[in-house]
Structure 1
Amino acid sequence: MSQPSLAGVLRSTVATVLTLLAAVVFVALAVVLVVTQVPDGTRDLDAYRAAPRCPSAPARPAECRWTREFTVADVRLTSRRGRLDTVTLTGADGHRWETAYTDRGPVIGDLGRGDRVTGTVWRGRLTEIAARGESQDTDAAPADLRARSLIAGLIMIPPGLLVTAACVWRLGRRAGPSRGMVATLGLAVGVFFAGLFSPLVANAVGEDFWATAAVWLPAAVLLAVGARVYTTRGNGLAR
């Protein structure tokens, strides 16, 4: 843990108050996200999975899924942070569809100009492409917002509460920051990064909250043990 910088936040009353306010806002945003998204977070996804195949090409955005052939007009793969890979598809009618993807597998990484793919259109959005026996969702495909919001809550709420506890503890104590306060603040930082990396480790099963929590929990326990050891056995700030 970075004792000097964390202790510095707790030594300054102004810095502690500002950190406390930021933590409260952080937790409040996460709670609002969870409360608003969890109840109906799978509504569109469930509707998409249950949608029947269209008997013919719909004249307007429809609830059924329409499958048709497309030709790849352009593929743009990027490594720039915050940018998505894109593929431009052309239908038999000449209409161009711009699609974007969060990763390159298992389809778009092997696509080239002129290749043929099968696309699925739902509610006027191109949601999925398939080629060579593999399929891949576009960023327009409905997502499990319930899992996403719960994972976001896991990332944001525990560290936010720990920071809040450390700051309230410090403001209620006249003496300087104790080792326990610094350990709590350091634990918050560690738990936050554990939350960020847990979905990446659990990504093999998709956006699954329970798989993410199964990765996050052991890391959080180890960090808590480390914070406890730091508090009881370390030297430096008096408790």
Structure 2
Amino acid sequence: MVWLLVGVVVLGVGVASALQVRGALEREREYRAASECASVPVTASACLWEQEFTVRSADTNRRERNRSPEAVLVLPSGKTWDVTFRQTGPVLSEMEPDDEVVGVIWHGRVVEIRDADGRRQQTSDGPVGWPADRLGGALACIPGGLAAVAGGLWALLARGNRRHAAAATVVRWHGVAIGAAALLTLWAQSGNDWPMWALPAIWGPITLILLACMTGFVIAALRGELEDDEPAGPRGPTPPPPPPTPPPAQPSPSAPDSDGSRTSPVSGSG
């Protein structure tokens, strides 16, 4: 039952991520096609404006799981801007107080930071990279959620059947492996600035291999090849061997007569 509930939740997250991919792509394309502002925008505008800031503080918040990396930037007028980031590098991790940085403002928000060395980093409001993140979430959650739901239902419907229970376990854990492969692929794509199409190009063959392995193990489980020869369970102390059986007693030989002959134990008349 736990696997079934977890699978439904994960599947819902994956579907939500998949529905956001299109909107994230459109927003990223709009940002890349935006022109520079002719003057300082008074209101939120679709043009790009580069503004100089001074760093007041920067914190990666690595010790606090529920807080994003953040920085406080100060305008020449003294007004402060609180900016959060999705990642700690490459700019935020090198920020020091009183450093001069340039922020790109789009739709009234700082979407990108550039330091004196020319390194750039998207903020939490930056549109670049969001489509790949949404796609990676969908690839990780949808197959994993489906496998968890299928394995959970299989185990419930075939309760008491050891072979079917083993096959359901195989399905569930291979779903976890497929989701983990998607997350690792997303991490590699983000760290190396690969294009978004690299996600399905790398994750697809890995998933096909995992599905082939899952099919083979499911067939083996249904045939009983994954079961132990002896049922598992606590074993008591080994009983001592039975005592050896004494050999049967041999009849004693008859005593000889005085004339040297032996008396037969059976007498009979001729």
Scaled by the length of structure 1, what TM-score is found?
0.78
Among residues 133, 136, 143, which one is paired with 1:158 in the alignment?
Answer: 143
Is the contact between residue 140 and residue 179 of structure 2 (CA under 8 Å) also seen in structure 1? yes
Secondary structure, in 3 states, of the residue corresponding to 1:200?
Answer: helix
Equivalent position of 2:46 in the other structure: 63
Whole-angstrom distance in 1 between the partners of 2:17 and 2:92: 32
Whole-angstrom distance in 1 between the partners of 2:39 and 2:110: 16
> After superposition, what is the alpha-carbon deviation per residue over 1:85-135, rounded to whole angstroms, capped at 9, x for unaligned?
222111111111111222232222222111111111111101112122222
Equivalent position of 2:30 in the other structure: 47
Whole-angstrom distance in 1 between the partners of 2:113 and 2:100: 10
Is the contact between residue 50 and residue 103 of structure 2 (CA under 8 Å) also seen in structure 1? yes
Whole-angstrom distance in 2 between the partners of 1:145 and 1:89: 23
Among residues 127, 146, 154, which one is paired with 1:142 in the alignment?
Answer: 127
Is the contact between residue 169 and residue 181 of structure 1 (CA under 8 Å) also seen in structure 2? yes
Whole-angstrom distance in 2 between the partners of 1:143 and 1:79: 23
Is 1:92 the counterpart of 2:46? The answer is no
Whole-angstrom distance in 2 between the partners of 1:195 and 1:53: 37
Among residues 161, 181, 186, which one is paired with 1:176 in the alignment?
Answer: 161
When you count helix as a share of all residues, which structure comes out higher? 1
> After superposition, what is the alpha-carbon deviation per residue over 1:191-235, rounded to whole angstroms, capped at 9, x for unaligned?
233233331233234485432334434443444454455442533
Q: Matches of residues 1-239 of structure 1 in structure 2 within 5 Å?
A: 15=1, 19-35=3-19, 37-80=20-63, 81-131=65-115, 132-173=117-158, 175-178=160-163, 179-206=166-193, 208-228=195-215, 230-231=217-218, 232=220, 233-236=225-228
Is the contact between residue 147 and residue 207 of structure 1 (CA under 8 Å) also seen in structure 2? no
Amino acid in structure 1 at the alignment position of 2:4: L
Equivalent position of 1:7 in the other structure: none
Whole-angstrom distance in 2 between the partners of 1:145 and 1:118: 22
Secondary structure, in 3 states, of the residue corresponding to 2:96?
Answer: coil
Higher mean C-alpha deviation, range 221-230 or range 185-194: 221-230
Is the contact between residue 24 and residue 127 of structure 2 (CA under 8 Å) also seen in structure 1? no
Secondary structure, in 3 states, of the residue corresponding to 1:40?
Answer: helix
Higher mean C-alpha deviation, range 81-90 or range 164-173: 164-173
Gaps of 5+ in 1: 1-14
Whole-angstrom distance in 2 between the partners of 1:227 and 1:44: 38
Higher relative contact order (CA 8 A, sep 6+): 1
Scaled by the length of structure 2, what TM-score is found?
0.70
Whole-angstrom distance in 2 between the partners of 1:225 and 1:122: 47
CA 1:86–1:144 in 2, change beyond 3 Å: closer, same or farther?
closer
The number of aligned residues is: 221
Secondary structure, in 3 states, of the residue corresponding to 2:197?
Answer: helix
